[in-house]
Amino acid sequence: MITLYGKAASRTSRNLWALEELGIAYKHVPFDYLKGDTKMAEYLTINPAGKVPALVDDDVVMTESLGMNLYIAHNYGIGTLWPEGKAARAKCIQWTLWAATELEPPAVGRLIEFNFKKEHERDQKNIDELAEHTKWPLNTLDAALQRSTYLAGAMFTIADLNVAAVCEYLTRTKFDLTPWPAANRWVSECLARPANQKVNAMKMAA
Amino acid sequence: MLKIYGSVMSRASRNIWAAEECAAPYELVSLDFRKGEHKQPAYLAINPAGKMPSIVDGDVVMAESLAINAFIAQKYGKGKLWPADEKGQAKCLQWTLWAAAELEPVAYGRLREVLFKKEDERDHKLLAELAERGKPIVGVLDAVLQDTPFICGSQFTLADLNVACVMEYMVRSNFDISPWPKTAAWYKACAGRLGNMKVQEMRAQAMKVAA
């Protein structure tokens, strides 16, 4: 059984979402990096870098939230989060890396400005630059979603989950997605899925 | 057959390396970004964002260099670049994302300063900051390499290839990895592989043609 480490209000939420989508049994250890849980010896044997999330699944010990989601999908979600067919699987890997390299840097930059700083501490020049850097990836995403309902075809897969989980940083920081209607509709739909709603409730409860 | 679109001077080199490692038959469709070939309609049909590299392999059309390598390893490198066991496969996915999320922002930031700017135009404060940020990141890799020559164990896999081709930016931008002897030895072993030697040869050839 998978044991997932990290509190819901962290990148761990991405993995909680994937596990909830699949409806498989898992154990959640909500270590809180703000309380120093992740720097305890117990956790450092799992992830020497002291970051969350991490997962343990028998002899598999793994970090990197988006990589973990590929693992979860690949091993527990064949035919659902991990689609049948080479072309769709290739898209899952592609969009996962795209989320990490193209979208996450500006999205997490916004999150830092809006959620980790007080209003008077915010760097408006940085916020404006980040908004510019967000437009290009959104153009790419919107174009893809004009061609198909979901990123790897007609079905919701790990590609959608991994990209939507990063898009959530944009919606949470009130980034206006309306100029990208296909992406906007898709983000709303993905984030409204019951599995993600459950994760949101876990975030609030913690 | 696997078609790789891009220039050997670009991130496509990572995919050429992977294809060479797997001895997968492939065709390199060279696109010269200085001539704007990646913004032509023929290429935009493959990659609407106009970025390099992309691949086409049967009905598979995909972008993102490190993801492409995961595809190449799974299709052409089973038991080699793509380990046979679940544990090794998990590590390959983890380190591929780690290369993209942790190492590449620092490494590419440094490369951009060094490669695209003349010495007197470089932002040395930025280079020093990126070097500082790079140290704990290299430390994470070094910790893993204390006990085994390669990331997943005794065998060179996709995890090593994807991390090494990003580490190359650190080395090329004169970041000294010698304080991490295990990492330095690992990098030498990776860079010295025939697959990468072939890439370096192709680069040297491309530079000769350009000059």
For residue A127, the model assigns a pLDDT of: 93
CB of B19 within 8 A of CB of B2?
yes
pLDDT recorded at residue B86: 95
CA distances from B171 to B152, B168, B178 (A): 22, 5, 10
Interface A-B, measured as beta-carbon pairs within 8 A, has a size of: 95
Q: What is the mean pLDDT of residues A161-187?
A: 97
Closest in B48, B60, B64 to A97, CB measured: B64
Read off the pLDDT of residues B37-82 as tens digits, 9 standing for 90 and up: 888 999 999 999 999 999 999 999 999 999 999 999 999 999 999 9
Pick from B60, B66, B105: which is nearest to A90 by CB? Answer: B60
Q: Taking a C-beta distance cutoff of 8 angstroms, is the pair B72, B96 a contact?
A: no
Superfamily of domain B2-80: Glutaredoxin (3.40.30.10)
Q: What is the pLDDT of residue A206?
A: 74
Interchain proximity B63–A98, CB inside 8 Å: yes
Q: Which helix (H) or strand (E) holds A183?
A: helix A181-191
Tell me how close the Cα of B209 comes to any Cα of chain A, in angstroms.
32
- Taking Cα atoms as reference points, which of B149, B152, B130 lies closest to residue B190? B149
Can you give the residue range of the structural domain that contains A201?
A: 2-80+196-205
- Does B211 have pLDDT greater than 80? no
Same domain, A76 and A107: no
- What pLDDT, in 10s, does the model give residues A6-64? 999 999 999 999 999 999 999 999 999 888 888 898 899 999 889 999 999 999 999 99
Could you state, in order of their start, the residue ranges of all structural domains in chain B? 2-80, 86-194
| CB interface of B with A, residues 96-135, below 8 Å | 96-98, 100-101, 104-105
Same-domain status, A167 and A73? no
pLDDT tens, residue by residue, B139-173: 999 999 999 999 999 999 999 999 999 999 999 99
Query: CB contact, 8 Å: B169 with chain A?
Result: no
Our CA-based measurement puts residue B17 at a distance from the nearest CA of chain A, in whole angstroms, of 18
The CATH number given to whatever domain includes residue A11 is 3.40.30.10
Domain B86-194 -> CATH class: mainly alpha
Q: What is the rounded (10 degree) CA torsion for A48, A53, A55, A61?
A: -30
Q: Within this chain, do residues A104 and A76 fall inside the same structural domain, yes or no?
A: no
Instruction: Convert the pLDDT of each residue in A92-149 to its tens digit.
Output: 999 999 999 999 999 999 999 998 899 999 999 999 999 999 999 999 999 999 999 9
CATH number of the domain that residue A175 is part of: 1.20.1050.10
Q: Do A66 and B101 touch (CB under 8 A)?
A: yes
Question: Span B179-194, mean pLDDT?
Answer: 98
What does the pLDDT read at residue B65? 98
Q: What is the dihedral of CA A80, B89, A58, A160, to 10 degrees?
A: -30
B64–chain A Cβ distance below 8 A for any pair: yes
Residues A12, A110: one domain?
Answer: no
Q: Which chain A residue is nearest to residue B70, measuring alpha carbons?
A: A93
